[in-house]
Structure 1
C-alpha cells in the first residue's frame, strides 16, 4: 500500500502548557537521544524534571530557555514517530530550529544546541508580543481588515518612542512585536474582541529589528560547522524552499541567525508554498500542543487550497492531523 504524503509543520513557542505536562515521557521514542539532549543542558534544569512536574508553572515552563527545549524535543520526537512519506518540512518561529533537524540540515543534537542557545538568549531579549485576529469566527478572508490593522501598526511605529512591527503573519492572526509604548498604543487603539488583543507572556519582540543584538550573539556562539545541506525540502519563514544540495551550510546558517531572527516570519507564506509546491495528501502538525492547527488551516484557506474558503470547509475536508490529539495521532502511524 502506498503511504500518504505529508508536509510536517513544527510548532513554536506557546505550545507547551499545562495539558502538555508529561508529553515527553508519554511519546518520546528514543531514550538514548533524550539522554543526549539532557547532557547538552548540563547546568540547566533537566527536561525530565520539567516534563515530570506535578503542576505547570508559566514562570518556570514558559521561560525561553525551558519552553524552547521542551517544544523542540517533543516536536522532534513526534517527527521520529511518523509513518508517512514526508515530502517537506516547515515550522513556525522557533519551530524553524526543529524543522532544520527534521529536514537533516542539522543533527538532532546540533538542532537542540541551536534551540537551547537561542532560547537562553531570547529569555533576556527586549520588548514583547501580542496577537490579534484579522479573520472572523467563520475564517473567511478579510483583506481590508488585515490591511487596516497593518496600517495602524505602521502609524504607531512613526510615533516618537514607539516601536511596533509585524512579527509573524500567522494564518488568520497577526502577531505584533515592539516595545511597551508601541504595544500599549495598539491595545488602546484597537477595540477588544474577547481575549484580543492578547499579550503573549514571556515573549520578546521576536522577528523584529530589536533582535539584532540577539542574532549577532547567536552568530558568535553557533558556528557554520553545526549546519549541513538538508536531506528533505525545507520551507522557511519567507515561503522559500531550501532544496537538498542547492544551498550551502553557510547560507542556511546566515538565514537562521539573521533574517529568521530580525525580520517578520511569514508562516502563512510557508504553508502556501507547502500546499502549492508539494500538494501533499495531508499536513501533519507535530506536538506538543495543537493550537497552531487553526492558524495552519486558516493559511490553507488564504491559499485557496483545494477550494477551501471558510472554517466549515476546513472542518469538512480535514486536511491536517495534530499529533497532540490522540484520535488524530494514530492516523499518522505513530504509537499512541
Structure 2
C-alpha cells in the first residue's frame, strides 16, 4: 500500500562542502534533466551546475555565491524529486522554504523544470548583483525543541525596537520552525547581534552571503523579475502547492496570474512563514510522511520543529520526535544516505 507524502523543498544554505558531488553521486542517470540545466546556464554565460558540482574542491566563494548556490540547490532538489518511487508514495502536496518555493512550483507542474530554473537563476542573480542587506538567525526553542516562554515575543519586540532607530532596518524574514530568521541593514543586524544574549553556543548567527530575503529591501529585485519573467510561464499545478503564507494552490482551481504575482512580489518582499506551510500540510493533508528533498540535512530540524509547534501526532519535543522516528519514521530526508534509500525507486 502506498504511503501519502508531503514533499518539502530546501532553500539557500543547503549545498555545502559535504554536498560537493551530490549530482554526480545520485543523479548520473538524469543526464537529460541536468543537461538542460547546464545548457541554460551556459546560455547565460554562467558555470553549468554539473561543473560546479564536479569541482575538485569546494570553494565557499564559488559554491555559496547566490547565483551559483541557488541553481545548484534547485538542480539537486529537482533530481531528487524525480527519483522518488511513485509506486510507494502518493504525493498529496508540495511546499518549500524560501527559494524552495520555486522548486515546489516546478515539482508540482506549475512551471516546467527549465522555467523553474529561470526564476531561480534570475532572482538569485539580481540579488547577487545588489547584495542588499543580510540575514541572521535566532532560536525561540531550547535545545530539546521546546518553546521557551515568551521568547518569540521578546525577539520580535527587540527587532521592532531596533527597527525604529534612525538608520536601522530590521524585520522578520522567515518563520523557520523554532527559529526566527531576521533581515536588515548592517546597523540593524549589528545592533541585534550585540544586544541579544548569546545562546546554544552559536546564536545569534549571521548567515554569510545571504542578502535581506523576504523584506522590502528586495523590492527592486521583485520589480525587475516581474519585468523579465512573463505570466505565461505559469500553469495549473498537477499537485496541491502550499505557499509561504500557508495558503493552498489547488490543481484546476489556481488563478495563474495570481500565482505569478505572489511568486514575484509577496514571496520576495514579505516574510516567509515556513512554519505555517508545514502546519497547513500536516493538518489539511494529514500525510503519512514528510519527504525533504536534498541537498543537505539542515531542513529536517525545521520541519520537525514546525510539526511540534503544530502538535502533529502528539509531538512535544526533540526526544519525542526521535522516539517516533525510531518506531515509525514520519520524516525522511533525502540528503541523508540511509534515509534516501527508503524513498528512491530501485
1:256 alignment partner, SS class: helix
1:30 alignment partner, SS class: helix
Between the two proteins, the alignment pairs up a number of residues equal to: 334
Match of 2:181 in 1: 175
Measure how far apart 1:142 and its partner are.
Answer: 2.6
In 2, Cα distance between equivalents of 1:325 and 1:261: 29
In 2, Cα distance between equivalents of 1:262 and 1:47: 27
Q: Structure 2 regions of 5+ residues with no counterpart?
A: none
Match of 1:210 in 2: 217
Match of 2:323 in 1: 316
CA contact (8 A) 2:34 2:50 kept: no
Aligned residue among 64, 67, 72 for 1:65: 67
CA contact (8 A) 1:130 1:183 kept: yes
1:31 alignment partner, SS class: helix
In 2, Cα distance between equivalents of 1:252 and 1:216: 15
Worse-matched range after superposition: 187-196 or 255-264: 187-196
Match of 1:120 in 2: 125
CA contact (8 A) 2:37 2:48 kept: no
Match of 1:11 in 2: 10
CA contact (8 A) 1:125 1:214 kept: no
CA contact (8 A) 2:33 2:79 kept: no
Deviation string for 1:207-247 (max 9, x for gaps)? Answer: 00111110001001100111111110000000001011212
Match of 1:134 in 2: 140
2:341 alignment partner, SS class: helix
Measure how far apart 1:58 and its partner are.
Answer: 1.2
Match of 1:157 in 2: 163
Match of 2:49 in 1: 47
CA contact (8 A) 1:239 1:271 kept: yes
Match of 1:105 in 2: 110
In 2, Cα distance between equivalents of 1:73 and 1:234: 19
Match of 2:245 in 1: 238
CA contact (8 A) 1:218 1:257 kept: yes
TM-score by length of 1: 0.98
Which ranges of 4 or more aligned residues in structure 1 deviate by more than 4 Å? Answer: none
Q: Structure 1 regions of 5+ residues with no counterpart?
A: none
Aligned residue among 231, 234, 243 for 1:227: 234
Match of 1:147 in 2: 153
Match of 1:329 in 2: 340
CA contact (8 A) 1:125 1:211 kept: no
Match of 1:265 in 2: 272
TM-score by length of 2: 0.95
Q: Superposition pairs for residues 227-306 of structure 1, below 5 Å?
A: 227-306=234-313
In 1, Cα distance between equivalents of 2:186 and 2:337: 40
Measure how far apart 1:334 and its partner are.
Answer: 4.0
Deviation string for 1:131-186 (max 9, x for gaps)? Answer: 11110011012351111111100111100100000100000101000000000010
Deviation string for 1:63-121 (max 9, x for gaps)? Answer: 11100000000001000000121100000000000000011100011101111111101
2:262 alignment partner, SS class: helix
In 1, Cα distance between equivalents of 2:149 and 2:13: 26
Q: Superposition pairs for residues 62-101 of structure 1, below 5 Å?
A: 62-83=64-85, 84-101=89-106
In 2, Cα distance between equivalents of 1:134 and 1:201: 21
In 2, Cα distance between equivalents of 1:334 and 1:192: 44
